[in-house]
Amino acid sequence: MSFESLGLRAELLRAVADKGYSEPTPIQIQAIPLILEGKDVLGGAQTGTGKTAGFTLPLLQRLISTAKAVKKGRRPIRALVLTPTRELAAQVHESVRTYGRHLSLKSTVIFGGVSINPQKQILIRGVDILVATPGRLLDHVNQRSVDLSNIDILVLDEADRMLDMGFIRDIRKVLALVPKDRQTLLFSATFSDSIKKLANDLLRSPTLVEVARQNTATETVEQVVHPVDKKRKRELLSFLIGSNDWKQILVFSRTKHGADRLAKQLNADGITSSAIHGNKSQGARTRALADFKAGEVRVLVATDIAARGIDIDQLPHVVNFDLPNTAEDYVHRIGRTGRAGNEGEAMSLVCVDELGLLKDIERLIKREIPNVVIDGFKPDPSIKAEPIFKGRGKQQGSRKSGGKKKTSARNSNNGNKRPASKGNSSKQGQSKKQTQRSPRRSPQGNC
């Protein structure tokens, strides 16, 4: 299947060729012709499937085909893309600019955490496409710098996350302001009852296009669990990064405080790291992401919300320093790697307290994740599980890493006698670890 056969115009095909895409992804093959026809689409696709181009390319084509000459005054906003986070908004807007580079459409992005006035200046000049997070969009509506009465196409990207983040009221307020006679596209990685209800209210006879459902999204990602005591997680992480010479690693932390602490500790270990989370200013988040993308910072430690939508081509390693509280977040997290057919590796450092969370994840993805104990990091079986403490509170000290742990990790026998669990072969770098698969669900020490 080629991009040409999807019915896209020459300017868009040129932009796609400039990007180096040779063929459309499955979501693009399904969604592009439908959107070009003007249909409402309910898209079951998570980040990494190529969904952004899947809605942006036909959206641009529809806008350019129906563009009217603007006689006087500013051009009306005709397409609105709502996203849950600032990072995703910025990335979607980047896609709009990239794919629309040979067209004469204007676009901008608005999100909170930065001054509103420069955004107003751009809006006053008029844009065809507006990418926005819901809160800042409503601020602009209230200050009359945005008029939504000419919207022809409304896109809700990562709608499940918007609901998780409590944006439902804001979304409903926006819906009251856009014309009823419009085309609506809703993308979501998961289809909870609340998403189905929202889709029902929003879409008119939508066509469902679905790829890489939440329980199959993980095919290009090699997943592994490394059992370890909680107090040795940081030490193990430093060891894995150092011994495998990983260059670009996205690490997930359950809490903002934990993310900051971990980044600090990794820096102290000589591994350049930054943390991004909701308490950081937009400037600091953008800088951290840019440094990470440019390879100036080796590790980016992120909370779930801050990492949402981070789009880095071929991100090879994702580490779950803590397992997320919900199994769906695990799928979102590992979706950061293995994108658009590239292979990726997702490791989870799991302590005994987290075995229940792990079970939930395996139930959701419908498979057991291979369990690999790293030599020298075998959990202490005498330590009992404790309830997971969500939020801030007691912290356990972690030892500094040093040369000793590497030596012991390489030379010691971890004592597990059971054979490897099936289905996961060691990848590059793993051979260095001299690992052994552990039996499933044996008590593995306290977190």
Binding residues for ligand AMP, rule CB under 6 A, total 15
Kindly state whether residue 47 participates in binding ligand AMP, applying the rule CB under 6 A: yes
Q: Which is nearer to ligand AMP, 25 or 238 (CB)?
A: 25
Provide the 3-class DSSP secondary structure of residue 319. Answer: strand
Stretch that binds ligand AMP, among 44-52, 109-117, 179-187, 240-248 (CB under 6 A): 44-52
Kindly state whether residue 83 participates in binding ligand AMP, applying the rule CB under 6 A: no
How far apart CA 194 and CA 244 sit, in angstroms, is 43
Stretch that binds ligand AMP, among 19-27, 65-73, 197-205, 429-437 (CB under 6 A): 19-27
Q: How crowded is residue 68: how many other Cβ atoms within 10 Å of its Cβ?
A: 8
Nearest C-alpha neighbor of 128 from the set 98, 152, 92:
152
The token duo for 60 is: 């641009």
Provide the 3-class DSSP secondary structure of residue 344. Answer: strand
Cβ-contact 77, 153 below 8 angstroms: no
Kindly state whether residue 219 participates in binding ligand AMP, applying the rule CB under 6 A: no
Stretch that binds ligand AMP, among 20-28, 126-134, 269-277, 356-364 (CB under 6 A): 20-28
Q: Tell me, what DSSP letter sits at residue 414?
A: -
CB of 95 vs ligand AMP, minimal distance in Å = 7
CB of 441 vs ligand AMP, minimal distance in Å = 34
How far apart CA 138 and CA 149 sit, in angstroms, is 14
Candidate residues 170, 311, 322, 353; the one interacting with ligand AMP per rule CB under 6 A: 311
How far apart CA 179 and CA 162 sit, in angstroms, is 21
Stretch that binds ligand AMP, among 49-57, 157-165, 214-222, 269-277 (CB under 6 A): 49-57
Kindly state whether residue 21 participates in binding ligand AMP, applying the rule CB under 6 A: yes
What is the CA 213 to chain-centroid distance, rounded? Answer: 15
Q: Which is nearer to ligand AMP, 47 or 190 (CB)?
A: 47
Binding residues among 409-438 for ligand AMP as defined by CB under 6 A: none
Contact letters (x/-) for ligand AMP, 335-364, by CB under 6 A? ----xx------------------------
Q: How crowded is residue 238: how many other Cβ atoms within 10 Å of its Cβ?
A: 23
Kindly state whether residue 49 participates in binding ligand AMP, applying the rule CB under 6 A: yes
Cβ-contact 133, 85 below 8 angstroms: yes
Q: Which is nearer to ligand AMP, 50 or 344 (CB)?
A: 50
Write down the residue that tokens 């052994």 correspond to: 436
CB of 317 vs ligand AMP, minimal distance in Å = 16
Kindly state whether residue 50 participates in binding ligand AMP, applying the rule CB under 6 A: yes
Kindly state whether residue 258 participates in binding ligand AMP, applying the rule CB under 6 A: no
CB of 98 vs ligand AMP, minimal distance in Å = 8
Instruction: Compute the Cα dihedral for 336, 342, 347, 348 and give only its sign.
Output: positive
CB of 340 vs ligand AMP, minimal distance in Å = 4
Question: Could you tell me which residues are beta bridge partners of residue 252?
Answer: 302, 320
- Please provide the DSSP assignment of 70-90 as one string: --SSPPPP-EEEE-SSHHHHH
Which residues have C-beta within 8 Å of that of residue 167, sequence separation ≥ 6?
84, 134, 135
Residue sitting closest to ligand AMP (CB) = 52
- How many residues does the structure list for the chain? 447
The residue ranges that bind ligand AMP (CB under 6 A) are 21, 24-25, 28, 47-53, 311, 313, 339-340
